[in-house]
Amino acid sequence: MMLARTASYLYWIGRYMERAEFTARLVEATVRLDALSARPAGEGAWASALSVASAKEDYEATGESITPSNVANYLTLSESNSNSIRNCLYNARMNARAVRTALTREGWESINRAWLALRDRSATGGAQSTINLVDELKAEIRGFEGAMHRMLRQDKHWMLRLGAAIERADNTARLIDVKYHLILPEGEEIGGVIDRDQWGTILQTVSANTAFRWLYRDGLSPGRVVEMLTLRRELPRSLACCVEEVTEILDEIGQETGFQGEADRMARLRHKRLTGTKVGDIIRGGLHEFLQAFITENRLLSQAISRQFRFD
């Protein structure tokens, strides 16, 4: 049975690595959206990227103007942004260093390498070099995921994945919420070119362009994208999939420890509720309200997990 301290560090490694990956994808997709649209959507793309990363207010406080390179730097390398990829990797690495016995050698090396690749970078540079950096980071983080999946399928493995699944649920919810409320420039219609680009960007952020074509033979529409990202269990980053994964992982851990608790009950309840939900219900009740409630519930679940496994 693993140490409670080890469990806590692993959980947070899972969360930070997932956040780093999500942010890397977000930067990549935004560079793309910016390049696609020689229209005002370009600037809007970077502003909304900040909102997705819940960094808008902190960014405004720095007084910097919203330019592609400023925002890319802020999301990727900034030391003052506590959720920048640099800080996520730094935190993941500090946690990993303290519990490196709990990781495989490959797992530790991929975190360490990702950190070393970023440590001495001071600027992301232009679009192309931003893409190169982000590609490199994504490859390292994928290496970490690969290593994670080759770990012994024991409590340590589950704890890393639990952190990752909770974080992924949070990230996906934020992504949909922000994009859905993105205000289109005046004169643009819903379903117009800019709107389509933006929904395409969402799909790209969660690597779901192709998935969408497979799941929906019809064209891109906000309702279908929302349905896929919230309710379709086939998509690994959908809320439904994350919710199911959290429940299953907690089950696995419970079988090993012989205990279940508050976190298990909350996760099962949430799982059951989401399984019975239809996309129409969500839209009728207000997507934003639905997503905000989901994010809050996810945070409470994370707190229940810390209590149940005696993280402090």
* Straight-line distance from the first to the last Cα atom of the chain, in angstroms, rounded to the nearest whole number: 17
Nearer to other proteins, 12 or 22 (CB): 12
Out of 97, 138, 233, 268, name the contact with other proteins by CB under 8 A.
97
Residue 260 touching other proteins (CB under 8 A): no
Nearer to other proteins, 28 or 155 (CB): 155
Number of residues engaging other proteins in binding (CB under 8 A): 28
How far apart CA 217 and CA 233 sit, in angstroms, is: 17
Nearer to other proteins, 43 or 252 (CB): 252
Sign (positive/negative) of CA torsion 28, 166, 118, 151?
Answer: negative
How far apart CA 7 and CA 102 sit, in angstroms, is: 9
The residue range among 44-52, 67-75, 207-215, 256-264 that interacts with other proteins, by the rule CB under 8 A, is 256-264
Provide the minimum distance between the beta carbon of 78 and other proteins in the complex, in angstroms, as a whole number.
19
Residue 307 touching other proteins (CB under 8 A): no
Binding residues among 234-253 for other proteins as defined by CB under 8 A: 253
Residue 98 touching other proteins (CB under 8 A): yes
Token pair 């490959």 is found at 106
The residue range among 46-54, 100-108, 208-216, 226-234 that interacts with other proteins, by the rule CB under 8 A, is 100-108
Q: Is residue 240 within 8 Å of 230, Cβ to Cβ? A: yes
Nearer to other proteins, 125 or 143 (CB): 143
Phi, psi of 263 (to 5 degrees): -60, -40
Out of 21, 34, 140, 155, name the contact with other proteins by CB under 8 A.
155
Token pair 């996906």 is found at 172
For residue 283, the tally of other CB atoms under 10 A from its CB is 14
Write the binding mask 67 to 96 for other proteins: x where contact by CB under 8 A, - elsewhere.
Answer: ---------------------------x--
How far apart CA 143 and CA 111 sit, in angstroms, is: 9
Residue 100 touching other proteins (CB under 8 A): yes
Q: Is residue 118 within 8 Å of 137, Cβ to Cβ? A: yes
DSSP string spanning 76-92?
HT-SS-TTSHHHHHHHH
For residue 251, the tally of other CB atoms under 10 A from its CB is 14
Residue 257 touching other proteins (CB under 8 A): yes
Question: Which residues form the interface with other proteins (CB under 8 A)?
Answer: 1-7, 94, 97-101, 105, 108-109, 112-113, 116, 155, 159, 253, 256-259, 309-310
